[in-house]
């Protein structure tokens, strides 16, 4: 059996690493790292886009709130201005319309209200094109 | 299957590097120590050296990817060989032309007459016709300086099983040589070494 053992040891020589084995391995590892970096870059881009999306939404929300406040302010201001104008013009109105002054004021108010409603409906339907008509 | 007896390894330096998070240096050290062993294990399992080279590369890449997750529960060599064996088995499963060779079939092949010019080639041919588990153990045993513990670790087998398989493999070979009238010619066998 010792002879067989020796013969086997001679026949089954351990294979040496093929030429270029390490170079191929290094290339494969480099490619893996490149791929990982690529994945990292894509992930970073996705995070940046998400952040941008959130910022844009926050801006839109802030703009909407500003618009609502401005509209409310305009309405309140307009109401006060109208009240003040009526108070100032009351003597003249009474001289012109006499006892029909409240009726004339109500009519004028209704007319102004209808004009404003019509204008807002027109802006809503026509959008920016309709706004241009009011410029 | 019983757990394989872990051979004495000096991988403490690699463990230390891994604990420090120096994975690149740890892998470089690991390559120095295991690159050739991984390739030889692949050669023994795959039979085909070109495929063995590819699978060894794949195994080492996989080891590199998995290295940060190595928890030290198994010895480093056991872990490396387990990954390599799995890659080999996957590759063997993928190989279209691979047909599992039954032991009986191999026994029959071993009976087939062969007349190689080279005595070493004859012996290699006979080893190739051994049943797969004998062939793997025998091949790795001679590839790795006749270390039973190393072979046990590589194939995840108890050392006792490796010794038994080695004994049976040699007995089968001796029988084959006797049939050819070669086993008694000790001078012939001795001359081939």
pLDDT attached to residue B137: 93
Report chain A residues whose CB lies below 8 A from the CB of B123: 7-8, 11
Is A12 touching B (CB cutoff 8 A)? yes
| pTM across the whole model | 0.61
Q: Where in chain B is the domain with CATH 1.10.10.10?
A: 103-189
pLDDT at B30: 92
Span A2-10, mean pLDDT?
82
CB contact B16 to A (< 8 Å): no
**Architecture of the B2-94 domain:** Orthogonal Bundle (1.10)
Q: Which residue of A2, A3, A16, A17 is the best one to mutate when testing the B interface, meaning the one whose CB has the most B CBs within 10 A?
A: A3
Q: Which residues of B touch A1 (CB under 8 A)?
A: 170, 174
Of the candidates B154, B134, B156, B166, which has an alpha carbon nearest to the alpha carbon of residue B38?
Answer: B154
CA distances B154 to B27, B39, B44, B67, B139, Å, are: 19, 12, 11, 18, 12
pLDDT at res. A127: 58
Fold (CATH) for B103-189: Arc Repressor Mutant, subunit A (1.10.10)
Residue span(s) of chain B under CATH 1.10.1740.10 come to 2-94
Mean pLDDT by 10 residues, chain B (193 residues): 46 87 89 93 90 94 91 89 94 68 44 54 88 92 87 92 93 86 55 42
**What pLDDT does B43 receive?**
93
Give residue-wise pLDDT tens across range A36-94: 777 777 778 888 888 899 999 999 999 999 988 988 998 899 889 988 988 888 888 88
CB distance from A129 to chain B under 8 Å? no
Please calculate the CA angle A11-B30-B38 and round it to the nearest 5 degrees. Answer: 30
Half-sphere exposure of B140 (CA within 13 A, CB side): 31
With a CB cutoff of 8 Å and minimum separation 6, the contacts of B83 are B59, B62, B63, B66
- For residue A128, the model assigns a pLDDT of 54
Question: pLDDT-derived band of residue A6, with 50, 70 and 90 as boundaries?
Answer: confident
Read off the pLDDT of residues A119-128 as tens digits, 9 standing for 90 and up: 877 776 665 5
Q: What's the CA gap between B157 and B151, in Å, rounded?
A: 8
B192 touches A at CB < 8 Å: yes
Inter-chain contact A11–B190, Cβ cutoff 8 Å?
no
Q: Which residues contact B147 (CB under 8 A, 6 or more apart)?
A: B7, B141
Are the beta carbons of B60 and A25 separated by less than 8 Å?
Answer: yes
Question: Which of B39, B64, B174 is nearest residue A17 as measured by Cβ atoms?
Answer: B39
**The pLDDT of residue A133 is above 80:** no
């Amino acid at each position: 059996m010792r002879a067989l053992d020796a013969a086997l040891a001679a026949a089954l020589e351990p294979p040496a690493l093929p030429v270029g084995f390490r170079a191929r391995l290094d290339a494969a590892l480099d490619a893996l790292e490149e791929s990982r970096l690529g994945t990292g870059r894509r992930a970073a881009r996705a995070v940046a886009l998400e952040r941008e999306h959130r910022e844009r939404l926050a801006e839109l929300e802030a703009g909407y709130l500003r618009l609502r406040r401005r509209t409310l302010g305009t309405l309140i201001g307009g109401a006060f201005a109208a009240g003040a104008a009526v108070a100032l013009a009351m003597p003249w109105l009474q001289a012109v319309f006499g006892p029909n002054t409240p009726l004339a004021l109500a009519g004028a108010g209704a007319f102004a209200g209808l004009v404003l409603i019509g204008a807002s409906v027109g802006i809503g339907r026509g959008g920016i094109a309709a706004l241009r008509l009011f410029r | 299957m019983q757990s394989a007896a872990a051979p004495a390894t000096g991988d403490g330096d690699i463990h230390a590097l891994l604990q420090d998070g120096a994975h690149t240096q740890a892998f470089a050290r690991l390559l120095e120590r295991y690159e050739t062993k991984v390739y030889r294990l692949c050669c023994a399992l795959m039979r085909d050296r070109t495929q063995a080279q590819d699978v060894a590369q794949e195994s080492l890449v996989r080891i590199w990817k998995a290295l940060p997750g190595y928890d030290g529960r198994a010895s480093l060599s056991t872990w490396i060989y387990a990954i390599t064996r799995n890659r080999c088995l996957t590759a063997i499963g993928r190989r279209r032309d691979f047909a599992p060779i039954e032991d009986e079939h191999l026994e029959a092949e071993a009976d087939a007459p062969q007349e190689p010019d080279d005595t070493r080639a004859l012996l290699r041919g006979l080893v190739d016709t051994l049943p797969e588990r004998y062939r793997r153990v025998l091949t790795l045993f001679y590839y790795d300086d006749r270390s039973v513990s190393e072979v046990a670790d590589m194939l995840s087998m108890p050392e006792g099983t490796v010794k038994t398989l080695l004994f049976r493999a040699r007995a089968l070979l001796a029988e084959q040589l006797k049939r050819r009238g070669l086993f008694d010619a000790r001078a012939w066998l001795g001359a081939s070494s």
